[in-house]
Amino acid sequence: MKVLYPPGKVKILAITIGLEGEAPLEVIELAGRTAYQSFDRIKEGSAQEFVRRIIERGHESVIEHSSMTVRFSKVSRGFTHQVVRHRLCGVTQESTRYVNKKGFTVILPPGRDANQKVKLKLPDGTPIRLTIEEWFMLNDQMYQKLLETGWPPEDARQVLPIGISTEIVITTNFREWRHIIGLRGASDAHWEIRLAMIELLKQAKNLVPVIFDDFEIDETVPCIRQIKASA
């Protein structure tokens, strides 16, 4: 049993590329100019300005024509319980039904001490003192013993804590990523998903900056804030 602290790992795996090699912004421009029948205005470098204007005008349905695939690893199942609520996403997650989690890794909140002792009582009333790490170690032992007695992983997993480490891959369009990053990166978002979204925003800004130019990272919290366009 291992204890990890956030942030988890974030890696962008893929971004939409057109069949003729068009970059993601070019795909958006090709689709968006259908509305205006202004294909004659397409030229080298025009896609970036087109997408910037689309976002400024709030016409974000157009940026749904390009998508991004992201892998989150060394995050807790508490993290994934939140992110899978975004229903416009394609999701593939590490399975606790088929994957043996013996010797699992658990994610603890930042600043929390795994050696902190807590007073507990056994069912017969006997008082005991356990550290947080010892509690998880007992949890792991229970899981392993159930497997040894013939329980399949899909049944033994019922005793696993929500803090166990997992991996998840998510694909969705840029409009939905903007929504996820803005919501889950806000100052009042859960610490684990907020830190992961900050890392994702840094990577996304390097690859497709115009899509996320109106988001900034406040390092004092840290969190993500959306910059409001001037009137």
Tokens of 26: 């070019």
Domain annotation covers residue 107: no
Residue 1 lies in a domain: no
* Residue 12 β-bridge partners: 70
Give the per-residue pLDDT at 79: 97
Give the residue from 166, 218, 227 showing the smallest Cα distance to 197. 218
Number of structural domains found in the chain = 1
Helix%, strand%, coil% for the chain, nearest 5? 40, 25, 35
CATH code for position 26:
3.30.1360.170
Tell me, yes or no, whether 78 lies in a domain.
no
Report CA dihedral (210, 193, 171, 101) to the nearest 10 degrees: 150
Q: Is residue 123 part of a domain?
A: no
From the list 57, 184, 194, 225, the catalytic residue is 184
Number of other residues whose CB lies within 10 A of the CB of residue 99: 13
Q: Are strands 117-121 and 127-131 parallel, antiparallel or unpaired?
A: antiparallel
Q: What is the pLDDT of residue 229?
A: 60
Residue 159 lies in a domain: no
- C-alpha to C-alpha distance for 70 and 55, rounded to whole angstroms: 22
Residue 206, H or E segment: helix 191-207
43: containing domain:
9-68+84-92+170-226
Per-residue pLDDT at 176: 98
Establish if 33 belongs to a structural domain.
yes
Q: Which helix (H) or strand (E) holds 193?
A: helix 191-207
Element (H, E) at 90: strand 90-93
Q: Indicate the pTM of the whole model.
A: 0.93
Any domain includes 180: yes
Q: How far apart are CA 176 and CA 185, in angstroms?
A: 14
Q: What string of DSSP letters covers 119-172?
A: EEE-TTS-EEEEEHHHHHHHHHHHHHHHHHTT--HHHHGGGS-TTBEEEEEEEE
> What pLDDT tens digit does each residue of the chain (231 aa) get?
899 998 899 999 999 988 777 899 999 999 999 998 999 999 998 999 999 999 999 999 999 999 999 999 999 999 999 999 998 999 999 999 999 999 999 999 999 999 999 999 999 999 999 999 999 999 999 999 999 999 999 999 999 999 999 999 999 999 999 999 999 999 999 999 999 999 999 999 999 999 999 999 999 999 999 997 644
What torsion, rounded to 10 degrees, do the Cα atoms 27, 30, 36, 41 define? 120
Q: Are 162 and 75 in contact (CB under 8 A)?
A: no
Active site residue 112: no
Q: Read off the amino acid at residue 31.
A: A
Token digits of residue 75: 């995050």
Phi, psi at residue 33, to the nearest 5°? Answer: -70, -10
Integer Cα distance of 211 and 175 in angstroms: 9
Does a structural domain hold residue 231?
A: no
